[in-house]
Structure 1
């Protein structure tokens, strides 16, 4: 019986979505008599020894090590020592993440055979700094028996020197994708998730409608990033002179350009986030002919990124940058003018109600014309869309302003960081000479922190100028189009950003393969079911869905509200509807993403399964509400993303009808879990459980 349990445990490890993607078609077999934990054969097969039959975390570690070594030996068969040491580092970093993600919940005791001790070199190879040559020699001695045949160790000092340039970006995909952003990408050791409640490895057991905030990777996205990572390490091992990061960057530019129909005289700036995009747009507006001071007009900044108002003034918007520099948040970035003025135009009033579009448009014209009269350059935002799906100002208003302003004195930048719009809309914006900010991390459901600014030809011409010197703390030359302006920036590449964009490109390509009419039909089917689920639950109050006003377009899907925002009744509100205050909404948001099966006294198996379900929705948006006497409520969001349309590998075997039925059933389960949490709020609050990467029944497995 014990042997059967151990074998089933190994099978569960082999079926993990991240390891399944990495393994691909490689042949893996069990060899219990093997003296080593594993061995890679000369044919590239993987044999797993008895050490893989016990503890699940140990099994995953050895399997990940074996797969990495097999891949690297395929890539660089004449570099067995380098391949082995790189594989060991990847396995060591993977182990750190895996312990975080797979820690058993409090009170759960797993019964298994006593596992063999893990290698003592894990901490050595997981260190931030390259170990000295003698430690590398010891590690090699320990891992050499796992190679297809004994290999002669070359000069260890030469190996040490060659490993130096690779050390910082040798590791598993999920580790590298957390680089080159900011602290919000780091994995919280208590949850196995990042600040956004999502993971850089696939999490198919979670119900995810969080594309208005951020999404965990699908197997498709993970595979796209993994393929790019292997190309990086392949070049480093076999041909160090090849600039693969430059090739990966060019492929991202090509992929984004194809999707949005960019032309040869237009360009793309890659950015870690939408807030970085705002900083770049300001820098380009300051390079406009005439050298005028910039008045930056933001629409509904409270419904965009929290750092946007600071970036809009040319200030550091966090304490650290994507390139790892510590900076004084709120201080002006070197080289940005100190006379930039930021003007905020809200789209909601003090009661949280949407301000009529006609008033928003009138305010835009009034403010912009006043700033033009002062001789200032205007950078006016069109918000397409906000966190709750709002769009403003209207096209007619922008066209009127541009047509009546002095030539070249108005820049329009479209904040389309949600990217909930048809590529033909983006093409229209570029034709008007407007910059467009997009991301691969919202509607497209790529990993968080992959953004871009699309540049029309007139703005591209400004790259003969000089960017602010302080941008060197934020971005590399390679992220910008060729031009004199970028020479102030450092050489190099943001490896994490490249991998995140390759994950996003995989999702973009999958969506592009779906006929436009089918995209529209699937989104509208889901959104109708989601609206019904919200409106028929007395614990919820749907904010009036805002259908964006757009010009007619055949088979358009982007004129529908794809973000559904709603208030949740406070658990102690009684018969009246008083929404959860922001702090309580944030607790609910976290508990939805938590397995509550060990906390809630479930009445039956169905309720226990509902309590265990991990539900990831959009983070609460702070909004005013008349019932809270000036305090802010938190509006949660259920959003339709690209993956809802294109599916994902975990849906294999389902036809489109069954898959959409599953999605609509899942949205009803999210709503049901909200009500379940409200019924048991005091009990859950007493435990205050934290989100988890996977539900407890999988952790115990």
Structure 2
């Protein structure tokens, strides 16, 4: 975005205006520096004309000129600027269709206004029409165009004349579902947990599809807010979608982009053309797809699905593992009955589970886990059942099981008993492993579940199931369960006869989320493996020491992942640090009593909230106001909570820790890592502050917000210090 200080000429050429930075109010200057708007603006020139009565005008040369209303009411400026930037971009893309471009830009602006929350200034009447589920009628479109026309260069009379709006309405109808800001579209095609609460600017996970660089974030074991890099990746993809639709190539462009996402994931993991990538909204959907593929290879036998530590995977995984609906709605918006059997999945599917922890919460030994897995598998195939066995790499707290040697022996054991070779699926949804490891799993003939939303810090709800050649070949015969048509489109799967039961189309929200994640994956891939290892080691060593030295915390002992040797491996060390927090209301004594699950969940929320207006005088209000996003508490048994479970919080090292963020530009790597370590220590310090004022905070129960409260009140987000 060009700095506001550019001198330019007005359209009539009769007067000059010079936009000086000092004439901008502080609030308007902050709007121009919003991370989401800064990404969208790029290098576009933006000026301010105090004599312009309208909100803005896009000049013929592409310059955006903001009018006096933005100066007088900065709360309206974000929506005005977003509208102007969208309009300028679309006019450049289809100058011959400037009226349609103007209507499309207006819809994006109206939806952006809804996302920006209730604190913004009231918008024009047409906002409600253009934000509706269906486009307005032809007569109303003409009226709306009358208000929009002054915002852009004049169009030829025939473009907005008699009969033109009949054609425009038809084209707008086809484009309508694809129009909107990237942050809204990224919240679609998943489930209700992705929905943004306009009052807080956050979703169910306490994260945002807009960049949030002022927040301290180590939540990659659960979900992260999108970074400026990821947002730029999704925004560029969104623009391609809209421009494709405007030029009459929408279906072709969408199909090509889904194929591109699948191809780029395959390239990241060194996959061959004979292998396959299936896009999935979540790891839970991946579980459902893996079961369907195991059924295709079962020879007609019922499947025994052996799941490891269901309590340390997604909450819906046990249902999906039996072929049941795991929520009341699907990623494609179908309303279903949670727990009901999905059409095409047999009721005979048997779910078996192997715990990774003992009743007291201590981790079980690999020998015990391996023994249970092979015993359950043997009983299943001896009963005439096909086995689908999971390797968990890694759990929510960083556990890895069962062992490779046992899994490698499993096929020979099945053959010796005259049974079909078990299917293995690796749950690598945390993605905390080198791509070389994933390639090795595929070489063994095992399916692999991955996501772009955990270690890679892409938006939540972007997953994929990687298919080795032997499993991908199953799609050439048979058919997928018919009920999967409520979950995914045909384009999400490799082109094959088995996928013909699925509907034609694309999950646009999933596609955009993957483009955001791919931007992070690309950035990490450019960092040499020794550098990745060194940066992770430096951060984790410092943070482990900080947790261990804090009397209010107890780190959960987790063994380092046991992996085959790999030069300069960075994934042979745990990157999720789980810890219990002392209960401030427990009776004093030498014993450490951890927070139970529900209080731990409250602590998790308060960390991500601005507490500066809640803590009493004398408290460190700067620290209280710091927004800290960490991993959601994991329910685990604890010997001091007999009959209940504790909640273990998690601080995780994600890909952005290694590759940095655009907001880190100008910091040399050593200084940036120093800042990361300092930020992580501030998270621990805020935990201590919360414990000191626990009863005060419990009475107030403050909510999480996208930005600090002062910014939420004014509608103007903070800028980085």
TM-score by length of 2: 0.93
Report the counterpart of residue 243 of structure 1 in structure 2.
Answer: 252
Aligned partners of 1:476 and 1:489 also within 8 Å:
yes
Report the counterpart of residue 135 of structure 2 in structure 1.
Answer: 130
Tell me the secondary structure at the aligned position of residue 617 of structure 1. Answer: strand
Aligned partners of 1:57 and 1:99 also within 8 Å:
no
Tell me the secondary structure at the aligned position of residue 405 of structure 1. Answer: helix
CA-CA distance at 1:403 after TM superposition? 2.1
Partner residue of 1:693 out of 706, 715, 719: 706
Report the counterpart of residue 183 of structure 1 in structure 2.
Answer: 192
Q: How does 1:78-157 map to 2 (within 5 A)?
A: 78-99=96-117, 118-152=123-157, 153-154=160-161, 155-157=164-166
1:450 counterpart = 2:462: yes
Report the counterpart of residue 370 of structure 2 in structure 1.
Answer: 361
What is the count of residue pairs matched by the alignment? 684
**Deviation readout 1:73-129 (Å, 9 max, x if unpaired):** 1111111111001100000000111125x67xxxxxxxxxxx7x5211111111112
1:409 counterpart = 2:418: no
Report the counterpart of residue 526 of structure 2 in structure 1.
Answer: 513
CA-CA distance at 1:4 after TM superposition? 6.3
Q: How does 1:297-312 map to 2 (within 5 A)?
A: 297-312=306-321
Report the counterpart of residue 599 of structure 1 in structure 2.
Answer: 614
CA-CA distance at 1:240 after TM superposition? 3.1
Return the alpha-carbon distance in structure 2 between the equivalents of residues 693 and 242 of structure 1: 35
Return the alpha-carbon distance in structure 2 between the equivalents of residues 51 and 664 of structure 1: 43
Return the alpha-carbon distance in structure 2 between the equivalents of residues 165 and 408 of structure 1: 49
Report the counterpart of residue 37 of structure 2 in structure 1.
Answer: 19
Report the counterpart of residue 538 of structure 2 in structure 1.
Answer: 525
Which is worse superposed, 655-664 or 282-291?
A: 282-291
Partner residue of 2:212 out of 198, 203, 208: 203
Report the counterpart of residue 3 of structure 2 in structure 1.
Answer: none
Aligned partners of 1:619 and 1:636 also within 8 Å:
yes
Q: Structure 1: which 5+ runs fail to align?
A: 104-114
CA-CA distance at 1:289 after TM superposition? 4.9
Q: How does 1:619-658 map to 2 (within 5 A)?
A: 619-658=632-671
Aligned partners of 1:315 and 1:329 also within 8 Å:
yes
CA-CA distance at 1:54 after TM superposition? 3.2
CA-CA distance at 1:246 after TM superposition? 1.2
Tell me the secondary structure at the aligned position of residue 116 of structure 2. Answer: helix
Partner residue of 1:426 out of 428, 438, 443: 438
Tell me the secondary structure at the aligned position of residue 640 of structure 2. Answer: helix
Which is worse superposed, 467-476 or 352-361?
A: 352-361
Tell me the secondary structure at the aligned position of residue 326 of structure 2. Answer: coil
Aligned partners of 1:190 and 1:690 also within 8 Å:
no
Q: How does 1:171-320 map to 2 (within 5 A)?
A: 171-240=180-249, 243-320=252-329
Partner residue of 2:55 out of 33, 37, 55: 37
Q: Structure 2: which 5+ runs fail to align?
A: 1-20, 717-721
CA-CA distance at 1:35 after TM superposition? 2.2
CA-CA distance at 1:555 after TM superposition? 0.7
CA-CA distance at 1:658 after TM superposition? 0.6
Tell me the secondary structure at the aligned position of residue 99 of structure 1. Answer: coil
1:661 counterpart = 2:674: yes
**Deviation readout 1:397-440 (Å, 9 max, x if unpaired):** 10111222126430000000000001010011000000000000
Aligned partners of 2:98 and 2:155 also within 8 Å:
no
Return the alpha-carbon distance in structure 2 between the equivalents of residues 664 and 525 of structure 1: 9
Report the counterpart of residue 389 of structure 2 in structure 1.
Answer: 380
Aligned partners of 2:259 and 2:491 also within 8 Å:
no
CA-CA distance at 1:5 after TM superposition? 8.5
Report the counterpart of residue 472 of structure 2 in structure 1.
Answer: 460
1:586 counterpart = 2:609: no
Report the counterpart of residue 585 of structure 2 in structure 1.
Answer: 572
Tell me the secondary structure at the aligned position of residue 383 of structure 1. Answer: strand
